[in-house]
Amino acid sequence: MWKRVQYDNINKRNVLFTRKSAFTLAEVLITLGVIGVVAAMTIPTLIHNYKAKEMRTRLLRANSIIQDGIGRMVADEVNISDILKNRDTDTIRLYFKDGGCLVPQDKKEGNYYNYDGVHLAGGSAQTIYWPPYCLTDGMLLWFATLNDWNSSWDGWNPTDYTVLIVDINGWKNPPDRWGKDTFFWFYSPEDNRVRPFGKSSYILKKILSTYYYACPGNSELMAEAGIGCTEDAINDESYFKKLKF
């Protein structure tokens, strides 16, 4: 009799413990729902922040590659303007390591757009030399001649300034837009320096449209919109986090 009472008490305690520790189906579903909502809210942000960090790392690397390459060309007294005009590929590859990737052969095949993606990128303010060169990590590098507009002459005329353009994540990797994954620098022969287009382009204001020192400019229809974003992208650590890829 005593054993039976003892067993009954043990069974009651087990039942009470089981009732207290078990989750009902409704509770499980609610918990899973909350987890799903939190995941849906946080995962896209985590992915975006990771992408932004990757793009910033690539931009800083591109800036380093350009500064180093042009710096060594200047040190070796290479005439940069002549090298570009003559398309001296062998010399250029001495200073910019070839990554061996496929490159677009012309503007149409490249299919790049301005900052807002509503106008094919381009513009007469620069003469871009196609095809671009493939750099390490699949980046693309174009050289271009900066042009000057003078209505009393015959329109656009080439200057001694060299433009360098880099697609930091490679061809056909979205968004392929000026100021979002494709950025601009210029080489000044006066002081042999390379600068990003942006606020510091004030030294060229006499020959440039506002799109070369404003980011992204005041008209989404302009082919040059986004060119002036490079300096902001380099200096602002949160620049890419603000973009929609």
Calpha distance 26→28 (Å, rounded):
5
Phi and psi angles of residue 62, each rounded to the nearest 5 degrees, phi first: -60, -45
- The closest of 212, 92, 226 to 167, measured between CA atoms, is 226
Q: What mean pLDDT do residues 197-204 have?
A: 77
- Per residue in 24-54, pLDDT (tens digit) is 877 766 776 666 666 666 777 788 889 999 9
Q: Are 230 and 179 in contact, with CB atoms under 8 Å apart?
A: yes
pLDDT at 48: 84
Q: Are 193 and 161 in contact, with CB atoms under 8 Å apart?
A: no
pLDDT reading at 18 higher than 50: no
- Per residue in 83-130, pLDDT (tens digit) is 877 888 889 999 999 888 889 998 889 999 999 988 888 766 778 888
pLDDT reading at 2 higher than 90: no
Q: Which domain holds residue 136?
A: 2-242
pLDDT reading at 19 higher than 60: no
Structure tokens at 60: 């800083």
Q: Are 56 and 242 in contact, with CB atoms under 8 Å apart?
A: no
pLDDT reading at 220 higher than 80: no
pLDDT at 197: 92
Instruction: Give the chain's domain count.
Output: 1
Calpha distance 4→82 (Å, rounded):
104
**37-41, 195-199, 218-222 — which is least confidently predicted?**
37-41
- The closest of 194, 198, 186, 195 to 229, measured between CA atoms, is 198
Rounded to the nearest integer, the mean pLDDT of the chain is 82
Task: Give yes or no for a cis peptide into 175 (omega within 30° of 0).
Answer: yes
Label residue 5 by pLDDT band (50, 70, 90). very low
pLDDT at 236: 96
- The closest of 245, 244, 204 to 228, measured between CA atoms, is 204
- The closest of 230, 211, 7 to 121, measured between CA atoms, is 211
